[in-house]
């Protein structure tokens, strides 16, 4: 039962990276993709119909983390305090800026565009640092309390992940735009996609090779294999964006899944020897059952509604598209 809930958490978090990842990629590249206002609105409008439904996967994941694994939530957020703060600052800036940018027809939008780009960049770097730390082991003491050393969160391995995530989300955003983006930007999108393929490949190889020295499980190896398969699908599937897009989304979900299965059933560990297993982290079976009664139908409705939304808006943005953002 506990394992199922761990899977649900993985599904929500994986869903978040698979969906919101392209939002951040589009956000980071917004000024590069188009300089003029009409172009930038069409780029934002490509992600528009899905935007509000994407980031809430994270909110739901954190809700399940709190509800189903109350002993884990506090350890991991307090243990990576500064990174979580950076992440939230980025997320808030990005989310608010995307939603407010185009609301005033007369307003100057350069400030909002800057907020979108920086917000997305900070979000991407923070996620990389955060997950890199989880994979390496959080800097906690033997009792699982955070050590008062901010710099410990910025180990070279974590920094590699921080940079890797920027490339990863950018690539994902570009592959998304190859499907949904306006036709006149297709050439630029294709060129930019090619330039992000190498950094993402380097990140994958380096993170895997470097991480392998600290030990891993068969499940982690499987996730790594899936990541490489997804990467190759993107690499060779660029002419068929309908294949490349799901592959790029899967690729973005892989780091979070890796952090989840790496030492399972240990779900949190530190260099100082602290370990928390999934059973210790979980809530009581009664509570999990209550949660399940609400979560299962809600998730079903969501997946159906979001899939229908995708069906309705999967064509590239043209002059008849509603943009809103």
What is the rounded distance in angstroms from the CA atom of residue 27 to the CA atom of residue 30?
Answer: 5
Closer Cβ to another protein, 95 or 208, answer by number: 95
Among 38, 183, 198, 212, the residue binding another protein under the rule CB under 8 A is: 38
What is the rounded distance in angstroms from the CA atom of residue 211 to the CA atom of residue 140?
Answer: 19
Burial class from Cβ neighbours inside 10 Å (0-12, 13-18, 19+) for residue 315 reads exposed
What is the rounded distance in angstroms from the CA atom of residue 167 to the CA atom of residue 192?
Answer: 11
Q: Is residue 74 at the binding interface for another protein, with CB under 8 A as the rule?
A: yes
Residue with tokens 């808006």: 313
Among 197, 264, 313, 316, the residue binding another protein under the rule CB under 8 A is: 313
Region binding another protein by CB under 8 A among candidate stretches 24-32, 213-221, 269-277, 309-317: 309-317
Site for another protein in 129-158 (CB under 8 A): 145-146, 148, 150
Among 14, 27, 48, 211, the residue binding another protein under the rule CB under 8 A is: 48
Closer Cβ to another protein, 220 or 281, answer by number: 281
Q: Is residue 91 at the binding interface for another protein, with CB under 8 A as the rule?
A: yes
Q: Is residue 305 at the binding interface for another protein, with CB under 8 A as the rule?
A: yes
Burial class from Cβ neighbours inside 10 Å (0-12, 13-18, 19+) for residue 96 reads middle
Q: How far is CA 79 from CA 14, 83, 257, 276, 304, in A?
A: 22, 9, 20, 13, 36
Mask: binding to another protein, 194-223, rule CB under 8 A, as x and -? ------------------------------
Q: Is residue 59 at the binding interface for another protein, with CB under 8 A as the rule?
A: yes
The alpha carbons of the chain give a radius of gyration, in whole angstroms, of 20
Closer Cβ to another protein, 143 or 239, answer by number: 143
What is the rounded distance in angstroms from the CA atom of residue 108 to the CA atom of residue 96?
Answer: 16
Among 52, 152, 163, 229, the residue binding another protein under the rule CB under 8 A is: 52
Q: Is residue 49 at the binding interface for another protein, with CB under 8 A as the rule?
A: yes
Closest contact distance (angstroms) between CB of 77 and another protein is 3
Here the contacts of 189-195 (C-beta below 8 Å, separation 24 or greater) are: 189/33, 190/238, 192/29, 192/32, 192/33, 193/238, 194/238
Among 27, 45, 173, 211, the residue binding another protein under the rule CB under 8 A is: 45
Q: Is residue 57 at the binding interface for another protein, with CB under 8 A as the rule?
A: yes
What is the rounded distance in angstroms from the CA atom of residue 272 to the CA atom of residue 143?
Answer: 9
> Which tokens go with 138?
């959080």
Q: Is residue 75 at the binding interface for another protein, with CB under 8 A as the rule?
A: yes
Per rule CB under 8 A, count of chain residues that contact another protein? 78
Q: Is residue 81 at the binding interface for another protein, with CB under 8 A as the rule?
A: yes
Among 58, 177, 224, 254, the residue binding another protein under the rule CB under 8 A is: 58
CB atoms within 10 A of CB 88: 13
Closest contact distance (angstroms) between CB of 197 and another protein is 31
Closest contact distance (angstroms) between CB of 210 and another protein is 28
Site for another protein in 100-119 (CB under 8 A): 100, 102-107
**Cα dihedral sign for 191, 231, 132, 47?**
positive
Q: Write b or e for each residue in 102-125: b if 16 or more Cβ atoms lie within 10 A of its Cβ, otherwise e.
A: beeeeeebeebbebbbbbbbbbbb
């Amino acid at each position: 039962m506990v394992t199922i809930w761990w899977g649900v958490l993985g599904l929500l978090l994986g869903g978040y990276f698979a969906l919101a990842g392209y939002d951040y990629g589009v956000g980071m590249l917004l000024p590069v993709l188009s300089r003029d206002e009409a172009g930038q609105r069409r780029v934002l409008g490509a992600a528009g119909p899905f935007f509000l439904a994407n980031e809430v996967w994270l909110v739901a994941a954190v809700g399940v983390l709190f509800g189903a694994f109350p002993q884990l939530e506090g350890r991991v957020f307090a243990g990576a305090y500064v990174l979580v703060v950076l992440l939230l600052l980025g997320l808030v800036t990005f989310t608010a800026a995307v939603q407010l940018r185009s609301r005033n027809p007369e307003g100057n939008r350069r400030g909002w565009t800057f907020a979108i780009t920086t917000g997305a960049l900070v979000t991407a770097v923070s996620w990389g640092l955060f997950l890199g730390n989880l994979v390496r082991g959080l800097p906690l003491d033997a009792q699982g309390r955070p050590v008062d050393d901010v710099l410990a969160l910025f180990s070279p391995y974590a920094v590699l992940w921080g940079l890797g995530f920027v490339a990863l989300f950018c690539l994902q955003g570009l592959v998304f735009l190859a499907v949904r983006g306006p036709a006149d930007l297709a050439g630029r999108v294709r060129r930019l996609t090619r330039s992000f393929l190498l950094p993402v490949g380097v990140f994958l190889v380096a993170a895997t090779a470097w991480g392998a020295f600290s030990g891993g499980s068969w499940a982690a190896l499987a996730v790594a294999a899936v990541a490489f398969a997804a990467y190759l699908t993107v690499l060779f599937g660029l002419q068929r964006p309908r294949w490349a897009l799901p592959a790029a989304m899967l690729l973005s979900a892989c780091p979070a899944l890796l952090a989840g299965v790496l030492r399972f059933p240990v779900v949190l560990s530190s260099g100082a020897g602290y370990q928390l297993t999934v059973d210790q982290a979980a809530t009581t079976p009664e509570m999990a059952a209550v949660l399940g009664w609400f979560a299962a139908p809600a998730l079903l409705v969501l997946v159906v509604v979001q899939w229908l939304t995708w069906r309705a808006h999967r064509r590239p943005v043209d002059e008849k598209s509603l943009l809103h953002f």
